Amino acid sequence: MPVPTSPVIRRVRLGAELRQLRRREALTLEQVCDRLGWASTSKLSRIELGQSRPDLADVLDLLDVYQVPAPTRDALIVIARDAATSRGWWKTFGEMSERQRTYAELEAGAAHIVEYQPAVVPGLLQTPAYARLRVAAGALLTPEVDVEAEVRARALRQEVLRRADPPRYTAVLAEAACDPGDLPVAVWREQLRHLVAVSGLAHVTVRLLPRGVAGDGLHPLTPYSWYAFPDPADPRTVMLEALTTDVRLTTALDVDRYERMTEALLAAALSPEETVTALARRVGE
């Protein structure tokens, strides 16, 4: 069975490799684009920054300019094909928004995922009814959102936890994320029951962070997700969830800090068994 890959991360890795090769040859963006007859440097810049799906022919031209020998060339061609491909189940789901698609691509290629949520249940663990209320609330700020399409897309993303080779998944939830708030009681209880049920999967762990407790005094300011991939050369990645545009971090320094944050939160959280007991007790309240 082929190892799953994340197109968005392969783009980041490909860009970094190509940038390193260009610098090794002591070439500027302008010099490379002049040799290839490209109209401006923006195309090459976006490829190096992992911001666009690369055309394989363009990558082959770049490898020629940089005089890359085999087997390095062959390895980079494989990465380029992964980076350019929209394969998998998300390719057939045209309704998925670009924002959800980014998360879907990260999740589909990940070997390990950790999510921290201070206020809501993570998308991968939401029931349809809970997801519908959350998406509808967000649509008050962005009326163009198709609520039902977003709910269907979220459910489709969740299939990653049901596939034959699922990633290891850990959710760290602040206690407020499991409060009913203004949710209908039936929706709230169904969601809690679902959290208890998915906790029974061997590759899924849910940890509850009690009120007034934070790991070594650390308080994450925003929800975040951490991803590691089967190929250790693919950059570990952190996504920070914001109101409008999410932030992707891939530098080792940034990711290391969030990994230390995650370790502190896990040390402070209830154990998986204690979490299931606490959630089951809430269902009966």
Indicate the residue type of 151: V
- Identify the band that residue 22 occupies on the pLDDT scale cut at 50, 70 and 90: very high
Residue 238 predicted with pLDDT over 80:
yes
Q: 98-284 — its CATH code?
A: 3.30.870
Greater model confidence, 200 or 1: 200
Q: What is the pLDDT of residue 211?
A: 84
Q: What is the pLDDT of residue 215?
A: 56
Q: What is the pLDDT of residue 95?
A: 67
Which region among 83-92, 110-119, 143-152, 218-227 has the lowest average model confidence (pLDDT)?
83-92
Residue 214 predicted with pLDDT over 70:
no
Greater model confidence, 17 or 93: 17
Residue 146's contacts (CB-CB under 8 Å, 6 or more residues apart) are 95
Q: What is the pLDDT of residue 1?
A: 46
Mean pLDDT throughout 239-246? 86
Residue 16 predicted with pLDDT over 50:
yes
Distance CA 28, CA 38 (A): 13
Q: What is the pLDDT of residue 270?
A: 96
Contact between 196 and 276 (Cβ < 8 Å): yes
Q: What is the pLDDT of residue 194?
A: 97
The model's pTM is 0.85
Q: Which CATH architecture has domain 7-84?
A: Orthogonal Bundle (1.10)
- Same topology between domain 7-84 and domain 98-284: no
Mean pLDDT throughout 51-73? 92
pLDDT in tens, 160-209: 999 999 999 999 999 999 888 888 999 999 999 999 999 999 999 999 99
Indicate the residue type of 150: E
Q: What is the pLDDT of residue 94?
A: 58
pLDDT in tens, 154-165: 998 999 999 999
Residue 227 predicted with pLDDT over 60:
yes
Q: What is the pLDDT of residue 133?
A: 92
Mean pLDDT throughout 226-238? 94
- Please, what is the average pLDDT of the chain? 89
Angle at which helices 128-138 and 147-157 pack, to 10 degrees? Answer: 130
Q: For the chain, what are the domain ranges?
A: 7-84, 98-284
pLDDT in tens, 259-280: 999 999 999 999 999 999 999 9
Burial string for 76-100 (b: 16+ CB within 10 Å, else e) reads: bbebbbbbbeeebebeebeebeeeb
Residue 90 predicted with pLDDT over 70:
no
Distance CA 86, CA 58 (A): 18
Q: Token pair for residue 24? A: 């090794």
132 by Cβ neighbours in 10 Å (0-12 / 13-18 / 19+) ranks as: middle
Q: What is the pLDDT of residue 7?
A: 83
Q: What is the pLDDT of residue 220?
A: 84
